Amino acid sequence: MDMLFPLLLSVHILVGLSVIGLVLIQHGKGADMGAAFGSGASGSLFGASGSANFLSRATAVLAALFFLTSLGLTYLASSKPKTSGSVMDTVQTLPVAPTPMETPSVPDSKAKDIPK
């Protein structure tokens, strides 16, 4: 169970980066008009509309996988045992030296002999 969280987190990050890459690769809606006038999109690897279908389906699959890994990470993070108390409960305090009840006597000094 301890190894599942980092593994799922790495898959989540890779899927997220893949979704970002696929979204950036896709054409906008205005790019289809340019393909109609012979901008070269019809000679692509997937054909004129094949690349749009492939990329949009791949994006949808990766988005669904991203949501599933998000839910899995949420479940794993919430199922960990809760720790009780606070951080300050684990701090060890040092004993404080007792203070004397009376003020300590001042040794004889020459300060009394100085005129004011």
pLDDT at res. 8 = 95
pLDDT at res. 23: 92
One-letter amino acid at 43 equals G
CB 55 within 8 A of CB 22: yes
Spatial separation of the C-alpha atoms in residues 95 and 105, rounded to whole Å: 25
Q: Please give the angle made by the CA atoms of 87, 90 and 91, to the nearest 5 degrees.
A: 95
Q: What pLDDT score was predicted for residue 47?
A: 56
Is the separation of the CB atoms in 12 and 70 below 8 Å?
Answer: yes
User: What string of pLDDT tens digits covers the 116 residues of the chain?
Assistant: 678 999 999 999 999 999 999 999 987 766 555 555 655 544 455 555 556 688 889 999 999 999 999 999 999 988 877 767 777 777 777 777 766 665 555 566 666 666 66
